[in-house]
């Protein structure tokens, strides 16, 4: 099994604080690996959190969740977290979405991604559409929409965020890294 979930990784108040922290950072249009902009594939605003400063508590919680999932589910050779925390805002005004993709790519860092963790920051009634779906081959897993819940999956797995039709969906994503898969 290459997926795991962690309900209530963050409280609603902590989710609101993470969103607030993301809004103090520069928000850019989300791109693909290498920063390539392709609106038909991805429409979102992203910001990167200072995981060694104001958001260090967020990174500590994420690292604990990844370590637990890795022990219980993945058993990957995870050696580090090489990227900052990413907060994405998928808004109805641009039908925010991210089409089917995997998180492993040709980028200098992306090629070493092992596990992806996505945490739901918005309350489920704050938006419509916007579901995170992970392709399991024979079926599609729809991630839990409860605020503060986290879904973890192998970074090589195809996944997407379906278009937001009302409101705004905020999510927090982090990747763990290690030697490339063989």
Tens digit of pLDDT for each residue in 85-125?
Answer: 999 999 999 999 999 999 998 889 999 999 999 999 999 99
Query: How high does pLDDT run on average in the chain?
Result: 92
CATH number for the 3-177 domain, one of 4.10.410.60, 2.60.120.620, 3.30.460.80, 3.40.50.150?
2.60.120.620
Tens digit of pLDDT for each residue in 156-177?
Answer: 999 999 999 999 999 999 999 9
* CA distances in angstroms from 121 to 87, 125, 148, 170, listed in the order given: 9, 12, 6, 5
pLDDT of residue 39 exceeding 90, the answer is no
In angstroms, the CA 9 to CA 36 distance is 31
| DSSP-assigned letters across all residues of 45-67 | EEEEE-TTTTTHHHHHHHHHHHH
pLDDT of residue 24 exceeding 60, the answer is yes
pLDDT of residue 69 exceeding 70, the answer is yes
In angstroms, the CA 58 to CA 21 distance is 11
Under 8 Å between Cβ of 175 and 155: yes
Domain boundaries, the chain: 3-177
pLDDT of residue 48 exceeding 60, the answer is yes
């Amino acid at each position: 099994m290459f997926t795991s979930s962690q309900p209530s990784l963050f409280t609603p108040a902590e989710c609101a604080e993470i969103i607030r922290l993301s809004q103090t950072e520069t928000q850019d249009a989300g791109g693909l690996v290498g920063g390539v902009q392709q609106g038909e594939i991805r429409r979102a605003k992203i910001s990167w959190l200072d995981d060694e400063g104001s958001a260090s508590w967020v990174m500590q919680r994420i690292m604990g969740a990844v370590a637990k999932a890795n022990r219980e589910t993945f058993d990957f050779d995870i050696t580090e977290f090489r990227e900052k925390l990413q907060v994405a805002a998928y808004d109805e005004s641009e039908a925010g979405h991210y089409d089917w993709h995997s998180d492993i790519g040709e980028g200098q860092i992306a090629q070493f991604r092992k596990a992806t963790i996505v945490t739901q920051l918005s309350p489920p009634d704050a938006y419509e559409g916007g579901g995170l779906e992970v392709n399991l081959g024979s079926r599609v897993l729809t991630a839990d929409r409860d605020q503060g819940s986290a879904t973890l999956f192998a970074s090589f797995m195809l996944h997407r965020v379906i278009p937001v039709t009302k409101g705004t969906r905020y999510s927090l994503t982090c990747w763990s890294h290690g030697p490339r898969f063989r």
